[in-house]
Structure 1
Amino acid sequence: MPKEEVEVLIEGGKADPGPPLGPALGPLGVNIQEVVEEINRKTKDFKGMEVPVKIIVDTETREFEVKVGSPPTSAIIKSELGIDKGAHEPRHETVGDLSMEQVIKIAKMKFDDLLSYDLKTAAKEILGTCGSMGVTVEGKDPKEVQKEIDEGKWDDLFEKYEEEEE
């Protein structure tokens, strides 16, 4: 089973059969439109961001698998806030404020790339990145929000998002 890999950078949700995909996949004999649809489905949450995508094609059966990487957490946070960069002095300067819903959304987007075992710990990892960027959450220092998570203040919100997954 010879396999070929094609790696491309695609804007989330906006893959099309033109370059770079079409010319790279055409010689491999796969249905390019099916590949494009799969990529767009898997990258729809990364709209406006460049996402690394790997397409693995079995050249005999013409079956393919799409693996989507994810942008760095900081890039997703910047995109959510509509900013170009984080703070120069994160503990003394604030460049934006995320809602807890946005933090959870980012945690869900990055979950597979994080070391977390559940959504709460994933959110706490995202909060750590917020702190290093000068981003507050719900108007508070991210460390304070991490403590609130530990104290159970956000449990209802986490339960809502975890139920959506089921």
Structure 2
Amino acid sequence: MASKGTKMVKAAKKGLSKVQHPPFLSAIIPAGRAMPAPPLGPQLGSRNIQIGQFCKDFNEKTKNVKEGTPLPTRINVNPDRSYNITFHSPPASWFLCKAAGIKKGAMKPSQEVAGKVTLKHIYEIAKIKSADPPFENVPMEIICKMIIGSAHSCGIEVVKELNAEQYGAFLEEREAIVTQQEEDLMEAKAAKMMRIS
């Protein structure tokens, strides 16, 4: 009986083929902070890229960018295990949060306002994003509309003008709301852990 099971396992193993990963990898990597730890390390290892060498190359190429800036990166792997790295500008959501002066977007984007940006901010972000290869032949108006859509999904309101004093007061109020939301979230997690154990 055991030999029959062994034969079935061997037959199943023969039927399995080795997983073939595509010759490219897209990831968002913080500038100057590429490390061999997960999630980047296993992704590179599965494509037979020398992880330590890649991290050293990436950190060297991004040394002129502010450390920690998220960079969408495309890695093309050649058959000889060499690779080409292509960088894009940071995601629109990162720019929007920086422009709004907030750390993260709203927990309930359609129900609350996390921050505000002006149309000028949208246009400046669109100018930066238009240099990325995916937006090469896209009109500026469409890029602006896409960024406005990203702003709404982050809970960031787009306004024509912004008063610095009023916005400062808004951010102070917002900070108290975010602190309360985080406390509520921690309490909910603790309650869930109590129910599980």
- Scaled by the length of structure 1, what TM-score is found? 0.49
Higher RCO (CA 8 Å, separation ≥ 6 residues): 1
> Who wins on radius of gyration, i.e. which is larger?
2
- Scaled by the length of structure 2, what TM-score is found? 0.44
